[in-house]
Structure 1
Amino acid sequence: MNSTDRPHSARRVYGENSADRRRQKSDKDGKQSCSDNPYNIVIQIRSCLCKIEAKIDRINSSLQGAEHTKHEHKEFTPDMGGLFEDLKRIDRKLIRHYEFQESHLKAVKRQCDEARKFEKVTNEIRMERDVLQGQVHSYLAQISSLKSKIEEQRCLVGAYERQVNAEYEVHLRKLESRNEDLRSSITQKDKQLKEANEQLRQLYKMLKSHEMLSWRKKTEERVFITILKNDLQAIWNEKIKIEDEFRRLKKFCGYKDNDFQAGLFSEDYVGTVLRRSKSTSDLTLQGGSEMEGDGLSPRKDNPFTAPNTPVCYSAKNSHGEGSDSPAYSRQKILQELTAIEKKLSKHKEEMKSRSPWKAGMDAHEKPTSTEKETSDKNEPSPRTDAEKPEEPKKQNSE
């Protein structure tokens, strides 16, 4: 196993462990929150995050498999270090988003607990109000019975009636004062119920705002992932174009397969060929002496004077002005090589200036329902994303 495989294996183990831990957390939280039907959106957000992490893990595994097959078949593939660094950065960004989402979910749970507590308090207050109303009714019944008794005693006995009436009147005043106290307590309880209902409305509004925030975060993450996938596809297409141009130059110059595989994808090769061709522009292709630019033999190192390179001469003049002269073919190859070098430098500048994280953070606002459906339809399947890195390798084998 080469030294380049060790970080890939460590990354695979780390990605699998982190994905398992996140799935377990999401399952536990999902079981706890499934009982509350109004908050199923939180469970959907967690499932979407798990799906995104699974996609990234599959992309990592496919890239690691491509690296392993490259070492087994000893075929040259481009350096994937930059892509792995991008994937690491994506993984770290997802972990940060996951932690941020966890904090929001905790806040939502805390508010749900507070709402349940307020509901319990309101139920207790209602029970107390019902009890007090029963007491009021009982006291009213007692008052009516006492009044009837007073009337009966008033009819029966005069003096005794006055004494008894005085006692009953005192008791009646007490009952009336008690009744007033109970009524005041009932009004206070009603006020408390109104305040509790207002607090419940505010809590429901806060819950809705948190749900909207989590939905926006989800849309931003989806847009960011689509941008990264498009950038990856553009990089692969650019690489395939450069490989096709190098193959065309190989056929034009008549290189061997070993020479082509040894220096096809190296940027230094293009620079050295340009420097050698510029330093030897005043020399002819028939000379057997060594080059003055880099001190190399024309039969061994110079790609324009290799043993298998066909050398054509024009019959028009001796200065190489015809289309089949070596100077003309060399000039044409130099022009193509300079164009390729410009493309490579331009590609480097684009990769440096490109900042997908900023583009992902400055994403759109809340999309409409049709935009959400089109984004879901345009999102590629995980199988096609995993098979994309295999395309340039097939072309290299051909």
Structure 2
Amino acid sequence: MRSNTSISLLAIGHACVDVYQGAVASLVPFFVAERAYGYATVSGMVLAASLLSSVVQPAFGALTDRRAMPWLLPVSTLLGGAGVALSGVSGSYGLTVLFVAISGVGVAAYHPESARVARIAGQGRHSAMGWFSTGGNLGFALAPLMVGAVVGAGGLRLTPLLALPALVGSVLCLPVLRALGPRQAAGTAVAGPAETDDRASFVKLSLAVACRSIVFVGLSAFLSLYARQRMGGSTAVGTVALFVLYLGGAVGSVLGGTLAGRWGRVAVARWSYLITIGAVAGVVFVPGPALYLFVALTSAGLYVPFSLQVTLGQDYLPSRVGTASGITLGLAVSVGGLASPAIGSLADATSLRTALAPLILMPALCWLLFRTLPEPTAPRLAAGPHPNTDDATDATDATPSSTQKSGQR
């Protein structure tokens, strides 16, 4: 199987998993409408999906550093889908939170191992990781459309139909795992020892990832409701706003890889977060249909650094690629849920606009942290033939240029 084919299948599988992270936020307006939940109550569901994912994701990453577990890809995909599928069939809030939490565990288990497999299948190329990340971002973007079409048509009782992407994703990853074969067990060994790890830079990067997550998940949870408040109209108004927020991921990750090839990953991420400060302020304070424009700018600003942060984490922590992937790829879309209850409680006490205003500070903190980060040199992958040795044109991404010692893939 060619490398590009493997990455394409993995990217689609990634979309089939991350659609369930977007689905949780997309279901919020329907829980409010059908069950009369308050802001703080629905934010508890977002917390349930995010908390377990935040806690267990680095643990799964550490496990994959010790031992390859390719079977996690299909199993975790099915688990993520099952939780969301069951979330709407029970009128009990406790069971709903439990099912959403189960989905979060499935998503958490998927990301570290899938990032490791994608690193092998793509021969360490940054463009390959960019396309893999784009798959997940597309899943986010499609979530509100999928939920709107299914649940909007028949209510929460139809959530079992949302299990279909999980079935598709679990099947698509199987031929990739068979094609890679023994290389999975070999892992992604690096040229240097653990002493080459730049732990200080990795901690700073992780803090920036957490700040990005807070603003993204905070907007994901409440943007649909906020758009309806600002512009009026049906749930379609909020669904479109959420779709625009997620759609930026389809362009942002690929654009980030292209820009980073010229200016470096750290510089591109830094400028992206600087632009995002003004974009988030526009979402919160600019009235009318212009809201969609600022949502689009916010989406681009948050997604351009997305895949860059994954490869930066792997290069800052080359001896523990699974752990780095679990934190930067998984934590990036989960830890923000920890702040959702605070946003919901503040919205109940004041207004949703007041509650969203502090999110403007998050990209500013990201910008400050990236100002202190160096551009690392990428480690070599372990020697050995790849199933696609004739993919010479794309393999040039793996070689650093003579004028840029960034190790850009």
Q: TM-score range with shorter-chain normalisation? A: under 0.3
Give the alignment's TM-score, normalised by structure 1.
Answer: 0.26
Higher RCO (CA < 8 A, seq sep 6+): 2
When Rg is computed on C-alpha atoms for both structures, the one with the higher figure is: 1
Give the alignment's TM-score, normalised by structure 2.
Answer: 0.25
